[in-house]
């Protein structure tokens, strides 16, 4: 029985360390959470560093010490952001687990497309919190709550501008009925909405997720959009979904539709979305993500528009941490040691 060197470059709790070590006595866990903060600060955009690192976080150890940790690691548990040259510095690395769910987080680094097995926490994030955010965003514009801020600034109510919708009986389209999307659909159905959805691997005849009236393949998206009053984007960002919501698909939506994106900014063609807002085709737009969110603020044309609600990628936050990344990692660690297939292995060709 050989030892397996596991390196965590993601900050983890004492309880998490105990759970990982308890998987098997062969595990030799090194916790280097925060050690690479200085390198991240030097190699990532300043906007990213300011968003994800504490102001005084500059890492620990010398470069040689950090190189030694990486050179000895067979398994690495990482987060966001991460050292961009991990593969080059970790010659023994066999498997990297990314704590976040989005595979596209790794596009910047040298792990993408490499010979290293990479897994994510897809389906095990704070999916309920994100689903609640999506529903709250839809309700924000359905109930015309954005008018309250406009009227407050004007110092007078424009009563006739309040034209709220009854969401019960309306149709919600969930693009990407995975972990987040299924929760969005379930909550939407609980409010009386008819829920339609797409999924890349929608198996004909398979049981529908809770609350869904229909689940179709991505090529049926435009037909679903034509029926939908509300649209929630919850899919992975891949080459197939880049600018998925473009001018043609926006035109396919019902006039007055409300669009929410809790996935990745690159899934929307932002110029086309801005045009749809300008023409009045969209009633409201909710963005927890936008193109370049780790490098700069949102586009001013969208941020200034009262029909757009923009937040800084916080839909997964809540007073309860239900993130299951460590559980996924421990299950996969057991499978790795046993030589069994692991969960959520990224298919480089597919993109997640």
Q: Could you report the per-residue pLDDT of 247-262, keeping only the tens digit for each? A: 999 999 999 999 999 9
Q: What residues contact 219, with CB distance under 8 A and at least 6 apart?
A: none
264 as an active site residue: the answer is: yes
For the purposes of burial, counting CB atoms within 10 Å of the CB of 340, is it exposed (0-12), middle (13-18) or buried (19 or more)?
Answer: exposed
Q: Is 164 helix (H, G, I), strand (E, B) or coil?
A: coil
| pLDDT the model gives residue 322 | 86
176 contacts 226 by C-beta, under 8 angstroms: no
Tokens describing residue 16: 């998490």
Cα separations (Å) of 273 from 13, 95, 133, 276, 301?
41, 39, 20, 5, 11
For the chain, what percentages of helix, strand and coil (3-state, to nearest 5) are there?
35, 15, 50
- The CA-based dihedral angle spanning residues 344, 345, 349, 352, taken in that order and rounded to the nearest 10 degrees: 30
What digits encode the pLDDT tens for the residues 115-132? Answer: 999 999 998 889 999 999
Q: In what order do the strands lie in the sheet with 257-261?
A: 212-216, 194-198, 171-175, 230-233, 257-261, 282-287, 308-310
| pLDDT value at residue 200 | 87
Q: Which domains does the chain have, with CATH numbers?
A: 4-124+323-338 (3.40.50.720), 127-310 (3.40.50.720)
pLDDT grade for 286, boundaries at 50, 70 and 90 = very high
Residue 96: the pLDDT is 98
What H or E segment, with its residue span, contains residue 284?
strand 282-287
DSSP code of residue 294: T
In the predicted model, is pLDDT for residue 208 greater than 70?
yes
Assign 202 a pLDDT band (cuts: 50, 70, 90). Answer: low
Q: What is the mean pLDDT of residues 7-20?
A: 96
Shortest CA distance to 201 belongs to which of 182, 185, 215, 221? 215
What was the pLDDT predicted at 292? 95
Report the C-alpha gap between 260 and 142 in whole angstroms. 12
Q: pLDDT tens-digit profile of 47-101?
A: 999 999 999 999 999 999 999 999 999 999 999 999 999 999 999 999 999 999 9
- Rounded-to-integer distance, Cα 258 and Cα 14, Å: 43
CA distance 70 to 93: 8
In the prediction, which pLDDT does 1 show?
Answer: 67
Mean pLDDT of 11-22: 96
Euclidean distance between CA atoms 290 and 274, whole angstroms: 13
Per-residue confidence at 175, pLDDT binned at 50, 70, 90? Answer: very high
Rounded Cα–Cα distance for residues 160 and 174 (Å): 31
State how far the Cα of 110 lies from the Cα of 117, in Å rounded to an integer. Answer: 13
Instruction: State the pLDDT at residue 205.
Output: 73
Catalytic choice (97, 122, 249, 264): 264
pTM of the model: 0.94
CA–CA gap between residue 120 and residue 250 (Å, rounded): 31
293 is catalytic: yes
Give me the catalytic one of 122, 194, 293, 323.
293
- Using the predicted structure, report yes or no on whether residue 2 has a pLDDT greater than 90: no
* CB-based contact 160:289 (threshold 8 Å): no
Span 212-246, pLDDT tens digits: 999 999 999 999 999 999 999 999 999 999 999 99
Which of 95, 92, 96, 108 minimizes the C-alpha distance to 40?
108
Q: What are phi and psi of 198, to 5 degrees?
A: -120, 150
- Tell me what the mean pLDDT of segment 262-288 comes to: 97
Inform me whether the pLDDT recorded for 204 exceeds 90.
no
Angle (CA) 150 154 156, round 5°:
100
Helix axes 325-338, 14-21, angle to 10 degrees: 20
189 has a pLDDT exceeding 90: yes
Per-residue pLDDT band at 206 (split at 50, 70, 90): confident
The single residue listed with the structure tokens 């005084």 is 56
Does residue 321 have a pLDDT over 90?
A: no
């Amino acid at each position: 029985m050989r030892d397996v060197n596991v390196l965590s470059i993601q900050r983890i709790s004492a309880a998490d360390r105990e759970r990982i070590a308890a998987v098997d006595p062969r595990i030799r866990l090194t916790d280097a959470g925060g050690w690479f903060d200085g390198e991240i600060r030097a190699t990532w955009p300043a906007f990213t560093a300011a968003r994800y690192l504490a102001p005084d976080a500059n890492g620990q150890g010398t470069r040689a010490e950090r190189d030694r940790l990486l050179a000895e690691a067979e398994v690495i548990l990482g987060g966001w952001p991460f050292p961009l040259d991990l593969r080059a510095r970790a010659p023994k690395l066999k498997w990297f687990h990314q704590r976040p769910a989005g595979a596209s987080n790794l596009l910047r680094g040298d792990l993408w497309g490499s010979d290293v097995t990479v897994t994510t926490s897809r389906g095990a994030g704070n999916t309920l919190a994100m689903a609640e955010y999506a529903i709250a965003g839809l309700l924000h514009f359905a109930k015309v709550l954005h008018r309250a801020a406009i009227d407050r600034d004007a110092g007078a109510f424009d009563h006739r501008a309040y034209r709220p919708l009854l969401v019960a009986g309306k149709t919600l389209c969930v693009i990407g009925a995975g972990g987040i999307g299924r929760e969005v659909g379930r909550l939407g159905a609980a409010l009386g909405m008819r829920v339609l959805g797409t999924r890349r691997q929608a198996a004909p005849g398979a049981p529908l997720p809770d609350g869904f009236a229909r689940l179709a393949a991505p090529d049926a998206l435009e037909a679903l959009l034509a029926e939908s009053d509300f649209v929630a984007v919850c899919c992975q960002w891949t080459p197939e979904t880049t600018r998925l919501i473009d001018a043609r698909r926006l035109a396919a939506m019902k006039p007055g539709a409300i669009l929410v994106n809790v996935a990745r900014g690159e899934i929307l063609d932002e110029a086309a979305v801005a045009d749809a807002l300008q023409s009045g085709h969209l009633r409201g737009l909710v963005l927890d993500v936008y193109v370049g969110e780790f490098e700069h603020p949102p586009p001013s044309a969208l941020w200034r528009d009262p029909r757009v609600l923009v937040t800084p990628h916080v839909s997964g936050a809540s007073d309860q941490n239900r993130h299951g990344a460590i559980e996924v990692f421990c299950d996969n660690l057991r499978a790795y040691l046993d030589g069994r297939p692991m969960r959520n292995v990224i298919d480089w060709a597919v993109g997640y």
